[in-house]
Structure 1
Amino acid sequence: MHLTRFQFNTARRATRALLASPQKIHAAVMNAFPTTSGEGEGRILWRIDHREHQVMLYLVSPHRPDLTHLVEQAGWPTTHTWDTRDYQPLLNRLDLGQEWAFRLKANPVATRRKTPESSRSQRFGHVTVTQQTDWLLTRTDKWGFTVPTGEHKEPDVAVRGRENLRFQREGRDVTLSTATFEGRLEITDPHALRAALINGIGPAKGYGCGLLTLAPVRRA
């Protein structure tokens, strides 16, 4: 597995057009890999992070990507490319009881019947911060971690960004309600957490959701 980071040049018109379309970003990510390569263990996951003065693409993939086309279209072709690192050393370090800072952009949803009489179910996006946070906290066990309490005796997680993505797919209107979570986790099942890191969390993985990333916890 590989972890890749790419910075967008937001001064370019092509970059702004690309960032406005989850479908275009999805296509650009998939074009970083040969169609014959196969995915192997894990899958291709990506996320766009908006920092104070930066817009970054984070990408986890079974194979090493070639982002030349993104550099030429939306980067700095003569000065900057991208950074790809082996993800396995971090995956191997994960152990029971460790604490990590985490970031996750997800598509929190509930599945229920369209009507009481209907036999068909449909996904409905959670739209409030409370709903989205509860969606995360009630599912962490199956992903191999728990969210410990912070100094105010509340779970140490916050929703740092919320967005409604609207686009067309195969002639149909699609709306995705996304939430970006940041917080602290404690590992309860290293194997399950490794699976979540390389396979993603929740739906809409093809549109920039589901990538969980870890960083060392900053101590005061």
Structure 2
Amino acid sequence: MTTFTRLHLDPKGRQTRKLLGNPQAMHAAVLSCFPKEVGDKERILWRHDGKLRGSDEHAVYIVGPDSCDPSKIAEQTGSENVPQKASYDRLLDALANGQQWHFEVVLNPVAAKKTPGAPRGTRGKLTALVGEEAQLEWFSTKAKSCGFTPLETLIVERKTLRFSKLATNPKGRQVVIGTVRYRGTLQIDDAEMFKKSLVEGIGRGKAYGCGLLTLAKPKASTSA
């Protein structure tokens, strides 16, 4: 059984700011919500959304096995908000070809670029794509392999994340990831492939908050 969890965090706390400011630290906190053997074997997705409308609170979404215990993060951050946890399978079972949904997702759009003079067959170095046209084209292509077609897509946020690989050593080896937040409307073309993408995530950088696609019904305010 797969579950969807939503936590609201107040950034006033020191530990909360640490998690929100370092994807490696947040990744560790999310994994702490699951038994170790689950994190070693199954895909766990998460995403951080910034200030929610009308408040300073931030949201963290988690998709993973039913063994998720979101109170672990609440305990670390001292949050008094009760985490919301619901079955994700009900949504997955309701998906079908031809359906249209509003969506939001943070992704790490990259492309392999070969070094001039490199031997034939050598895979190029993965490089972050820049520019709206390239990022939208990449998303459209990626969508086809995930079972859906973007009907309308907006890029609403771009960030370059820089953080230490070791959350306990801020001055350690740095990780740099370029993220793009896409928002719009999609149509499901292959429901089974689409469900797999929702559970396993899209693209690279999943450990650092990328790849989790959330859905909302058109003309409705509730999201999945």
1:157 CA displacement:
0.8
Please state whether the residue corresponding to 1:139 is helix, strand or coil. helix
Percent identical: 36
Whole-angstrom distance in 2 between the partners of 1:91 and 1:29: 22
Whole-angstrom distance in 1 between the partners of 2:12 and 2:112: 40
Counterpart of 2:43? 43
Counterpart of 2:92? 91
Q: Are residue 197 (structure 1) and residue 205 (structure 2) matched?
A: no
Please state whether the residue corresponding to 2:37 is helix, strand or coil. coil
Cα shift readout 1:176-220 (whole Å, capped 9, x = no counterpart): 10001110001100001001000000001000000011110128x
Higher mean alpha-carbon deviation, 9-18 vs 169-178, is at 169-178
1:39 CA displacement:
6.7
1:11 CA displacement:
1.7
Q: Is the 8 A contact 2:45 2:63 kept in 1?
A: yes
Q: 1:74 aligns with which of 66, 72, 77?
A: 77
Counterpart of 2:158? 162
C-alpha change, 1:169 and 1:13, in structure 2 (3 Å) is closer
Whole-angstrom distance in 1 between the partners of 2:37 and 2:201: 22
Cα shift readout 1:104-129 (whole Å, capped 9, x = no counterpart): 10000001223332535211011222
**Which residue type is aligned with residue 159 of structure 1?**
I
Please state whether the residue corresponding to 2:203 is helix, strand or coil. coil
Counterpart of 2:181? 180
**Which residue type is aligned with residue 33 of structure 2?**
A
Counterpart of 1:132? 135
C-alpha change, 1:140 and 1:36, in structure 2 (3 Å) is closer
- Cα RMSD of the aligned pairs, angstroms, is 1.9
- Please give the TM-score of this superposition, normalised by the length of structure 1: 0.88
**Which residue type is aligned with residue 48 of structure 1?**
H
1:132 CA displacement:
1.4
Counterpart of 1:211? 212
Whole-angstrom distance in 1 between the partners of 2:195 and 2:83: 24
Counterpart of 1:152? none
C-alpha change, 1:71 and 1:38, in structure 2 (3 Å) is closer
Whole-angstrom distance in 2 between the partners of 1:62 and 1:141: 26
Please state whether the residue corresponding to 2:82 is helix, strand or coil. coil
Please state whether the residue corresponding to 1:137 is helix, strand or coil. helix
Uncovered stretches (5+) of structure 1, i.e. residues with no partner: 149-155
Q: Is the 8 A contact 2:5 2:70 kept in 1?
A: no
Counterpart of 2:101? 100
Q: 1:63 aligns with which of 62, 66, 69?
A: 66
Whole-angstrom distance in 1 between the partners of 2:91 and 2:158: 28
**Which residue type is aligned with residue 112 of structure 1?**
K
1:67 CA displacement:
2.2
Higher mean alpha-carbon deviation, 164-173 vs 47-56, is at 164-173
1:25 CA displacement:
0.2
C-alpha change, 1:30 and 1:38, in structure 2 (3 Å) is closer
1:91 CA displacement:
0.2
1:172 CA displacement:
3.7
1:38 CA displacement:
5.9
Q: Is the 8 A contact 1:7 1:75 kept in 2?
A: no
**Which residue type is aligned with residue 114 of structure 1?**
T
